[in-house]
């Protein structure tokens, strides 16, 4: 592939330089980043010291494909990850050190990582009886699954933006401009989210929001956990950074 002069400059810039690329979609930022990874490998940088971080796993495909085709040693060993997958790995590795601080009922038990399907299952099992008992959402006509999806979405956004999960109800009410009588729906959603998190702590269940909270608020602040990442990955390639969350931006700023 014939590169532009600016792409060549990015690829061959000195290793102690931090490079920031900005441009419209299709202008060649990812291509330049791929070439920089190749150049790092050609210069003898160990593949396992390079981390390619993307906001969603599908965006790593151009890197994987290019490195698989490239004639560079160990190109296939360069790791691609999302912040969510890093959080999963780090929690699984350092759980015995942080479990007590996280506040789960049984710190000696291993964590159980929940898929979205399992989150829906536990919502139905533990939250639905409380909804019926307390007559929550009595003016809402959407399906239960839709309600659970919204509650999970609020928990996820709280973790990714970086505010306490038990405050999203008040935040939503403060932004509500409709009939004030309907604002209680946000209180119902908050009560259900609090109950879900309580259940997660009781049984060592970690949904995505809980994982991100633990990673940002416990692991990243733990010196040995942070060193594990920063010492291992000396070269970061972060693509589509504008799609990342404030929590991820804060971690990356510290990392750099």
List, for residues 196-241, the tens digit of each pLDDT value. 999 999 999 999 999 999 999 999 999 999 999 999 999 999 999 9
List, for residues 114-160, the tens digit of each pLDDT value. 999 999 999 999 999 999 999 999 888 889 999 999 999 999 999 99
H helices present in the chain, as ranges: 5-12, 29-42, 61-69, 83-102, 116-122, 128-134, 144-161, 168-175, 184-203, 208-214, 223-232, 246-255
List, for residues 91-111, the tens digit of each pLDDT value. 999 999 999 999 999 999 999
Residue 48 has pLDDT above 80, yes or no: yes
pLDDT-derived band at 9 (thresholds 50, 70, 90) equals confident
Question: Which residue did the predictor score with more confidence, 183 or 53?
Answer: 53
SS3 (DSSP) at 103 = coil
Separation of alpha carbons 41 and 37, rounded Å: 6
The confidence score (pLDDT) of residue 1 equals 65
Separation of alpha carbons 176 and 163, rounded Å: 19
pTM of the predicted model as reported, rounded to 2 decimal places: 0.91
Separation of alpha carbons 85 and 212, rounded Å: 10
pLDDT-derived band at 71 (thresholds 50, 70, 90) equals confident
Residue 27 has pLDDT above 90, yes or no: no
What mean pLDDT is predicted for residues 12-19? 79
Phi/psi for 112 (5° steps) reads -115, 110
């Amino acid at each position: 592939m014939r590169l532009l002069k600016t792409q060549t400059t990015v690829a061959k810039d000195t290793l102690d330089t931090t490079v920031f690329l900005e441009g419209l979609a299709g202008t060649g930022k990812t291509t330049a980043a791929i070439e920089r990874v190749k150049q790092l490998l050609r210069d003898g940088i160990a593949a396992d010291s390079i981390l390619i971080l993307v906001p969603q796993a599908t965006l790593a495909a151009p890197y994987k494909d290019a490195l698989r085709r490239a004639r560079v040693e160990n190109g296939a060993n360069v790791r691609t990850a999302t912040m969510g997958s890093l959080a999963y790995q780090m929690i699984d590795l350092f759980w015995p050190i942080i479990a007590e601080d996280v506040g789960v009922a049984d710190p000696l038990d291993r964590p159980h990582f929940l898929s979205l399907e399992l989150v829906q299952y536990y919502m139905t099992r533990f939250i639905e009886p409380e909804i019926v008992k307390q007559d929550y959402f009595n003016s809402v006509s959407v399906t239960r699954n839709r309600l659970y999806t919204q509650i999970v979405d609020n928990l996820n956004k709280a973790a990714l933006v970086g505010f306490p999960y038990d405050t999203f109800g008040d935040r939503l009410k403060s932004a509500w401009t409709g009939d004030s009588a309907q604002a209680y729906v946000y209180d119902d959603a908050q009560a259900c989210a609090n109950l879900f998190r309580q259940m997660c702590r009781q049984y060592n269940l970690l949904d995505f929001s809980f994982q991100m909270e633990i990673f940002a608020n416990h692991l990243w602040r733990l010196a040995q956990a942070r060193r594990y990442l920063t010492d291992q990955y000396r070269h970061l390639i972060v693509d589509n950074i504008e799609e990342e969350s404030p929590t991820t931006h804060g971690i990356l700023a510290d990392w750099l």
